[in-house]
């Protein structure tokens, strides 16, 4: 079942949208403010977010910016303002689409359907290494039968390692490809995130995929 997180402080609107989404065979969760978004994300695991721009405490654009640090979940912005600057800011920040209040529920459904289609797995989207499977269209990870939850950066790092499996990659290569050439932070960030990924995919000495090449970097072995 496709799950959607509605971030909306107006409970009446949120409940009405939730009711319609559920009538279309979807699951819908509600977060009324920034404080509840993280908890609802963990509880619901949404594949799409409907995010109201005009929220108390933290506006939707800032919330989207914070969300994009860790998640690639598609976001449709919901705004009562028709200003081009708001739409451009949201799209530049990574929103998939926007809809302006008041909206017809049929238009919302059409935009949700379009967003859903974009997230469907495509042919050739699976990457494998040993018992590790990445779906690059959905940005999901499985090891064996277990689904692995990763942050955006953890996923980007793992995908790059899997795409280049059996090739020794230097720390500089990983830094440039995952964090970008403009990154000016701590160079140890690669080692830190490799450790995070190893922990998330439950590596042990018996089932280790990511190997350290001393003085060089890392290689993911397809075993």
Task: Please report which confidence band the pLDDT of residue 144 belongs to, taking 50, 70 and 90 as the band edges.
Answer: confident
Residues 73 and 95 in one domain: yes
Mean pLDDT of 201-218: 89
- pLDDT, position 198: 95
Please provide the average confidence, as pLDDT, over all residues in the chain: 85
- pLDDT, position 111: 85
Helix (H) or strand (E) holding 5: strand 3-7
Which of 132-136, 137-141, 155-159, 180-184 is predicted least confidently? 180-184
Task: Please report which confidence band the pLDDT of residue 124 belongs to, taking 50, 70 and 90 as the band edges.
Answer: low
- pLDDT, position 108: 87
Q: Which of 32-41, 127-136, 183-192 shows the highest mean pLDDT?
A: 127-136
Residues 175 and 101 in one domain: no
Residues 104 and 145 in one domain: no
- pLDDT, position 203: 83
Which structural domain, as residue segments, surrounds residue 11? 3-118
Res. 164: pLDDT tops 60: yes
Task: Please report which confidence band the pLDDT of residue 112 belongs to, taking 50, 70 and 90 as the band edges.
Answer: confident
- pLDDT, position 123: 53
Q: CATH number for the domain including 75?
A: 3.40.50.2300
Res. 94: pLDDT tops 70: yes
Residues 184 and 107 in one domain: no
Which distant-in-sequence residues (6+ apart) come within 8 Å of 51 by Cβ?
A: 7, 60, 63, 64, 75, 76, 77, 78, 95
Helix (H) or strand (E) holding 113: helix 105-118
Residues 109 and 11 in one domain: yes
* Residue after which a domain boundary falls, among 101, 118, 135: 118
Residues 145 and 210 in one domain: yes
Structurally, the chain folds into a number of domains equal to 2
- pLDDT, position 95: 85
Please tell me what DSSP assigns to residue 208: -
Q: Show the beta-strand stretches assigned E in 82-209.
A: 97-100, 126-129, 132-135, 140-143, 146-148, 169-170
């Amino acid at each position: 079942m496709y799950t959607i997180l509605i971030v909306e402080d107006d409970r009446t609107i949120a409940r009405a949208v939730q009711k319609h989404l559920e009538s279309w065979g979807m699951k819908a969760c509600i977060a009324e403010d920034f404080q509840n978004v993280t908890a609802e994300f963990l509880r619901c695991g949404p594949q799409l977010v409907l995010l109201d721009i005009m929220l108390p405490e933290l506006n939707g654009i800032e919330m989207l910016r914070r969300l994009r640090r860790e998640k690639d979940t598609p976001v449709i912005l919901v705004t009562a303002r028709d200003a081009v600057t708001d739409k451009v800011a949201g799209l530049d920040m990574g929103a998939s689409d926007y809809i302006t209040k008041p909206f017809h529920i049929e238009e919302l459904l059409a935009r949700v359907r379009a967003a859903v289609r974009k997230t469907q797995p495509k042919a050739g989207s699976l990457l494998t290494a040993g018992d590790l499977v990445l779906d690059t269209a959905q940005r999901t990870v499985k090891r064996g039968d277990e689904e692995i939850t990763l942050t955006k950066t953890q996923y980007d790092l793992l995908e790059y390692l899997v795409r280049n499996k059996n090739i020794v990659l230097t720390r500089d290569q990983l830094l440039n490809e995952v964090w970008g050439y403009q990154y000016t932070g701590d160079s140890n960030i690669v080692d830190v995130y490799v450790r995070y990924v190893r922990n998330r995919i439950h590596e042990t000495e018996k089932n280790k995929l990511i190997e350290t090449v001393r003085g060089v970097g890392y290689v993911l072995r397809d075993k």
